[in-house]
Structure 1
Amino acid sequence: MNSLSHFLRRLGRYQTILLLLLVTFACWQCANPIAPTGGPRDEQPPRVDSLRSTPNLQTNFYPATIQLTFDEWIKLEQANQQVVISPPLQGYKVSLKGKSVIVDFGDQDTLRENVTYVIQFGEAVKDLTESNPAENLRFVFSTGPYIDSLEVQGQVIDAYTSEPVEGALVMLYDNLADSVFRTEKPFYFGRTNEEGLFLISNLRAGNYKLTALKDGDANYRYNQASEAIAFFSEPINVTTDSVSPISLRLFQETIPLKIADVDSSVWGRLKLVFNRKPLQDLTLRSDVSYLQAMEVDSMLFWYQTDSPWNLYANSDTLLSDTIRVPAASVDAASRKLPPLALKPLPGAATQSVTLSFNRPVQSIDTALVFLRQDTLLDKIPFRWEVDTTKHRQFLLQNNWQPRANYELSLYPGAVTDYWGVTNTDTLSKKWIGGDPKRLGNLSISFSTNDSTATYFVRLLIKGKPPVALFSLNGERAYNRQFKALPPGEYVVEVIEDTNQNQQWDTGNYSNKQQPERIVIRPLEALRANWDLEATVDLADLFQD
């Protein structure tokens, strides 16, 4: 009996110890919140508990600290970048304590009299479980008897596509210097929503420089070439009267042109790869003559010398380089040119067929070229047209008959390349004449009320290279005809070509140059065996 009593007393002590351990563990869990696992996904952002937080929208307020307490456990990320006070203050600290964010101003004398301050937290405050940021988290107070209530609103769109830009910073500066965009944080700022719309509120009256930025490093400054920017050309005047909605066109400046790669491994050919597509700002000269052709982001050069030579490349955007092309190898294998070959032809043709060779062609002996239709043995006539911009393409033209079978034969010696080498084998290709009933015709009428304006137009079908490129100037009305087009959804890109260089030019902040205006207009779908007429009012497209 005594042994049983002793056992039960010992068991009671163990239970007490176990209970104490459980209570200690539970208290530790409460003091150290962790993200729970399992259960439904938390999609709700943290919300301010107004009953336990410093009241918002106070006047005659000189706080030493501001406390915002939330309805759930939170975390604070990149507070030094995300939390911005307008007008700017120095020396404040932002910290996390439990479920609360504390803004400590330190010395109260840093707050100016009769000024409305706006604290914007960006995406610094997030819930602990799923990192959902608190939405539109702002704290507003005034050291004077009233809170400033003026506003600036508008929209930020992509300068090329005209699509709304989400998440762009829109910033106001009371410092009107041109360099302020690069050196200072904004006096006031807002951020665009998914429709590109912005609203900056609680402003005081004054003149402000207005800019927008797709901020790549979250420092509220334009300091990277890859960042997209927009700016209003003149300071805006914010008064007691409402400011009209403002439209900003966001663009990326032309990055400095650089040579990313040089390939001279193939005899007689030099390939330069650039960090972007070279445009009119590239100037080339060399010690020897050559042929050149542009590709997407590279240039090909074909040359005939065995000696070393230099190519000098210069650009208005800081590129200045000398490319040393080495002497040709004495190894016969390395000097050997690949056999001439034709690249695949399209499966059907209506007016012309493009013959694309694998290297530059100097001439074609038409006496050694035979074009036959179906099973006929007689040679049928054709016309050649050389593509002088690519040097490797010929345009074969004829009145191709619908659904007829064609075979082209280029017998040995018919083709002479840039180095005087001829084909030693017969080159043959076959195709089928296209059916005009499967194609459509397009007529576009353009009109404008300004005959001095110049427009550059690109007609293209979605996902494919342009069908046509042309300029419009000197008239008030224009008509363009396009025959035998494949069915599809066509769009017209119209550029207000202010410098008449037949391309779209982006903007430049330092030069106060806005990007050229461009409008992309979809046309009615073109159907097979159909004549489509479209009208484009240029004055309406580019109305101010």
Structure 2
Amino acid sequence: MLNKRVTFLAAIFCLFGLTLIIFGCANRQLPQGGPRDHDPPKLLKATPPNETRFFKAKVIQLDFDEFFKLTNTYTEITMSPAPAKTPDYKIKNKSLIITLKDSLEKNTTYVINFGKAIADVNESNLLKNFTYVFSTGAHIDSLSLSGKVINTVTGEREKEATVMLFTLKQDSTNFGKKRPTIFTTTDTAGNFSLNNLHPDTYRLYALKEKTPNKIYDKDDELIAFNTKDIHLTKDTENIQLKLFQQTPTKLRIDKKFDLDGKILFTFNKQLNNPSVKVTYPPGYDEQKIVDISKTKDTAIVFMKKMDFDSIRFAFFDNNKPLDTIYLRKGKKESFTRTLGFLYNTSNDKLRPNTDILIKANFPIDSFEPALINLKEDSTDISNFTVTKDTTDARVLRLNYRWHQVSNYTLILNADAVTDIYGDKNRRNLKRFTVDKPENYSLLTLTTTVPDTGKQYIVELLTDRGVKLRSDVITKNTSIIYKNYINGKYKVRVIYDANKNGKWDSGNVKQRIQPENIWVNETIITLRPNWDQVTPIVIPKEPVTP
């Protein structure tokens, strides 16, 4: 009997032990990593120390608290004044070894700016705007320049912009050609500070690049500059630099022959009233169709006849000759085209009291009304009309008295539409409803101008900055926007100094600033069934430094 009890207890303990093992294994987890490292490398020690006077060393060692890497070493790291021979930068464990290869000037403050060159190995956290300063004499230059960088068009502060400083002598030979030796990067609030400067006359710039090289050398880059030279004798604060995209002085036209036969021209700047003419072969100009973009910086040309091996286009702006472009193709070269359509609906909803627009990807030659069907719910509709749009050769306009609660189906049966090349469409179907009137509102801006002798351009924008409409005003007035969809909007005002009805950018070489822009910080919210009246008091135009 005792042996049975011992055996039973042993079995119980074994089962209990097995349960602990199973549940212990089930709850066992892999070691979890700590929080993500957001800190850049930190300098622990510099040899010789930072801000050393009577500097005589040939090698500088910077010890950091973690392993790091150098990126774009000879683009990001600069030494000012620049020595004839570039220093050598090498990583040894957690240290950066800088070997100076050139003799240094006497009684001079030197600044090594590392830009965005130093980052940790694991997370690539950047040590931005880190500098190492030393002097070969008893004095270290300590003057500073500080301020902020603002985007002229958006009115917002610009982060990650490069602020560059050139002496007057350097400016004439280096700007736009060589990287600056004195620079910094704006922080997340658009602020900048340049330190350890010596008394001199400077020119100050800011640059925003897509592919940074710290040289203003591309049309799409944003540039800012201080109009007046800065005679630096004391610390200077609150400098404001306004970034803008400069309009290129020389027109460049890019050309492209698409696989479907249309010819696309892209201008590197917006034109006022562009036009295109075919000058060769003779007789081909009459059968071209030109589609100029609303922004007037692109042109699509459709040629009805494609039996040419070369073609020549002349471009004009306000009837003034601009340029001539040649294109070549094989006479028997074939193109692949598929006739397709887009519609003026948003999320399959049509704006109330509007026609539905059927936009083809090629100019329309003709259409068969009998092959265009419209269904309201499941019922065929016959009392609608389809006409060609008078302003766009690619658009058909369908007019019907829409009903609010109905579901519509528009059917373009096969061969309903024929383009200028003789191509016909495949069967195309579009379903949509008519949006509710209460989703649209009336907005009135009661606008007050600071000076009736000047001209202003009032622009209505979406909250994302997309321009919807612009109006030129010279006096206090009310601007009315009917049937604008409920949502959030902003107002931007251009101080139209030359009264030409558009914003004019500046010119760096000519030291001309762009026309000033004011962006109202107040967001306008349009709500259902509500007529919104918003006062807009345009402030006095600021004086650009």
TM-score scaled by length of structure 1: 0.72
* 1:526 aligned onto 2:526: yes
Unaligned runs of 5+ residues in structure 2 are 1-30, 280-284
Counterpart of 2:358 in structure 1: which amino acid?
Answer: S
Q: Which residue of 1 aligns with 2:42?
A: 47
Equivalent residue for 1:161, pick from 116, 138, 154: 154
Counterpart of 2:156 in structure 1: which amino acid?
Answer: E
Q: Which residue of 2 aligns with 1:272?
A: 264
- Pairing 1:139-150 to 2, within 5 Å after superposition: 139-150=132-143
Q: How big is the shift at 1:272?
A: 1.0
* 1:210 aligned onto 2:214: no
Question: Is the contact between residue 354 and residue 393 of structure 1 (CA under 8 Å) also seen in structure 2?
Answer: no
Q: Which residue of 2 aligns with 1:4?
A: none
Q: Which residue of 2 aligns with 1:476?
A: 475
Q: How big is the shift at 1:102?
A: 3.3
Question: Is the contact between residue 260 and residue 275 of structure 1 (CA under 8 Å) also seen in structure 2?
Answer: no
* 1:490 aligned onto 2:493: no
**Secondary structure class of the residue paired with 2:168:** coil
**Which moved further from structure 2: 81-90 or 189-198?**
81-90
Give the Cα separation in 1 of the matches to 2:218 and 2:433.
53
Give the Cα separation in 2 of the matches to 1:410 and 1:81.
58
Pick closer, same or farther for the CA change 1:371–1:277 going to 2, 3 Å.
Answer: farther
Q: Which residue of 1 aligns with 2:452?
A: 451
Counterpart of 2:450 in structure 1: which amino acid?
Answer: N
Question: Is the contact between residue 170 and residue 212 of structure 1 (CA under 8 Å) also seen in structure 2?
Answer: yes
Q: Which residue of 1 aligns with 2:191?
A: 197
Question: Is the contact between residue 216 and residue 224 of structure 1 (CA under 8 Å) also seen in structure 2?
Answer: no
Counterpart of 1:90 in structure 2: which amino acid?
Answer: A
Give the Cα separation in 2 of the matches to 1:195 and 1:504.
26
Q: How big is the shift at 1:105?
A: 3.3
Q: Which residue of 2 aligns with 1:286?
A: 278
- Pairing 1:49-128 to 2, within 5 Å after superposition: 49-50=44-45, 53-96=47-90, 97-106=92-101, 108=103, 110-113=104-107, 115-128=108-121
**Which moved further from structure 2: 338-347 or 61-70?**
338-347
Structure having the higher strand fraction is 2
Q: How big is the shift at 1:200?
A: 0.6
Pick closer, same or farther for the CA change 1:465–1:398 going to 2, 3 Å.
Answer: farther
Unaligned runs of 5+ residues in structure 1 are 1-36
Q: Percent identity?
A: 28
**Secondary structure class of the residue paired with 2:355:** strand
Give the Cα separation in 2 of the matches to 1:219 and 1:429.
49
- Pairing 1:245-264 to 2, within 5 Å after superposition: 245-254=238-247, 257-263=252-258
Pick closer, same or farther for the CA change 1:319–1:100 going to 2, 3 Å.
Answer: farther
Counterpart of 1:299 in structure 2: which amino acid?
Answer: A
Q: How big is the shift at 1:532?
A: 0.4
Tell me the number of residue pairs that the alignment of Structure 1 and Structure 2 aligns. 492
Q: How big is the shift at 1:199?
A: 0.4
Q: How big is the shift at 1:404?
A: 7.2
Q: How big is the shift at 1:74?
A: 4.2
**Secondary structure class of the residue paired with 2:189:** coil
Counterpart of 1:141 in structure 2: which amino acid?
Answer: F
Give the Cα separation in 1 of the matches to 2:256 and 2:328.
13
Give the Cα separation in 1 of the matches to 2:430 and 2:60.
79
- Pairing 1:322-361 to 2, within 5 Å after superposition: 322-324=326-328, 343=343, 347-358=349-360, 359-360=362-363
- Pairing 1:406-425 to 2, within 5 Å after superposition: none
Q: How big is the shift at 1:207?
A: 1.2
Give the Cα separation in 1 of the matches to 2:424 and 2:507.
51
Give the Cα separation in 1 of the matches to 2:207 and 2:243.
8
Question: Is the contact between residue 66 and residue 103 of structure 1 (CA under 8 Å) also seen in structure 2?
Answer: yes
Question: Is the contact between residue 400 and residue 434 of structure 1 (CA under 8 Å) also seen in structure 2?
Answer: no
TM-score scaled by length of structure 2: 0.72
Q: How big is the shift at 1:43?
A: 4.3
Give the Cα separation in 2 of the matches to 1:46 and 1:416.
66
